Amino acid sequence: MLFNSIEFLFFLPLVFCCYWMLSGSRQWQNLFVVAASYLFYGWWDLRFLLLIAFTSFCSYWSGILLQKNDGNRRVQKWISAGNISLNLFILGLFKYFNFFSENLAALFRSLGYEPDWVMLDVLLPVGISFYTFQALSYTIDVYQKRISPTCDIVTFFAYISFFPQLVAGPIERATNLLPQFAKSRSFDYGKAMDGMRQILWGFFKKVVVADNCAVAVTVIFNHYTHESGSTLLLGAVLFTFQIYGDFSGYSDIAIGTARLFGIDLMKNFHFPYFSRDIAEFWRRWHISLNTWFRDYVYIPLGGSRGKKGMVFRNTMVIFLLSGLWHGANWTFIVWGAYHAFLFLPLLLLGKNRKYQDTVARGRFWPNGKEVLQMGVTFGLVMTGWVIFRAENMTQAIAYLRRMFSASLFSWPHWEGCGIAAGGILILLLVEWIQRDKEHALAIDRQIRSQGVRWSIYYVLVLLILMFGGESVDFIYFQF
């Protein structure tokens, strides 16, 4: 079920009302969350429910077995390793089997052998990477004693399947989300209203910005061999905002929806296109995934401690894994490597944590240096998004080569991009003004006048209704 669908328009109010009617019983609320989440997820394909139920059941029992063998570290290690391996095997089978088998077959052909094994067309379940990583975090956290295992299977199933963030994140940690389902929740009007504001801004980013950008991006990328460099640059810029509006828009809707149910999810984006270097960008983009790799892969490997060769290795590992996590295509792996090579100089020079504050803090206008830094960072990120968006590396290289040709200085063909451009300008203006806030529509304390606040809400609703583009699936559903 899509957030931007008619079905969800009826689903959310109905689930909200039923959920709070059960507010006297935490167990009944959690059971209802599981039922509603399985309905939400099964809307795509009922077969997906078997896989998420199996993943949830195995991870739940891994926690029980770890608790029963408390004190026997060797047995606990085998239990956690077994469940981690099982989850990674399932993820690898459904997401990467075709990729590796096709590349292995190509390798054999290059050596003069024609492989005769059967190629399988494995169906990729929606959001499998997200809930698998969430299940993995539980097993790892229990093994490392960051959290006590739960004996309440309903609570655990609610943690894995909670519908707002089930298919595209944020990727939650057991230490944050599981305890919230383990305690009673009461309706908080202020939290619910803040959630509605964040949902509204998420829909604006998705429907007005991302969906309108998607139309032009598809045309430009499909005809890149016939377009000028300036038009290809326009396509790259539009895709840069498409993927941000699409993914951060989903996160805003997910986080806001969760707040309607009294649940706080972690922030996933923090105005990343106002970053002054690549390291700051990665602290602000897809925060839940990046911190997951940091805590569960990078730090256990040694992090930034040790010799420079080890630091180089650790950094390459997490960026390549981040690329591979996004999908079974060489473009994602190269995209990860590209960002690793941009990040490494900052890390090795000790400048990767230079910018921890908000850009132009205490000022409305950035200074010249900040404008230049943000412009360069944006350009580097945009170039990476071309690799990410391309169907294969041949297209990515050809697109970039043509984009940086002499025709880059011609006038682009930008017909049909007016609504997208207007949406981008509104997006940049609002998020710049709100860049030090929790989210772009956190205006309840800034704007005291209720009439002014509601006028802003009505304007955004009108913009969504009048200029919403053709409905497009969320990009990150495929990951």
Report the catalytic residues: 326
Q: Amino acid identity of 440?
A: A
Tokens of 152: 């309440």
Inter-CA distances, 320 with 24, 303, 325, 400, 479, Å = 47, 15, 8, 21, 15
List all residues 6 or more positions away from 39 whose beta carbon is below 8 Å from its beta carbon.
1, 11
DSSP assignment letter at 294: I
How many degrees, rounded to 5, is the angle at CA 98 between CA 92 and CA 102? 130
Q: What is the DSSP secondary-structure string of 325-375?
A: HH-SSHHHHHHHHHHHHHHHHHHHTT-TTS--S-TTTT-SS--HHHHHHHH
Tokens of 5: 């669908």
List all residues 6 or more positions away from 427 whose beta carbon is below 8 Å from its beta carbon.
204, 205, 209, 241, 245
The candidate with the shortest Cα–Cα distance to 297, out of 330, 268, 326, 319, is: 319
Q: What is the CA radius of gyration of the chain?
A: 23
For residue 75, is it left (φ>0), alpha (ψ between -120 and 50) or beta? alpha
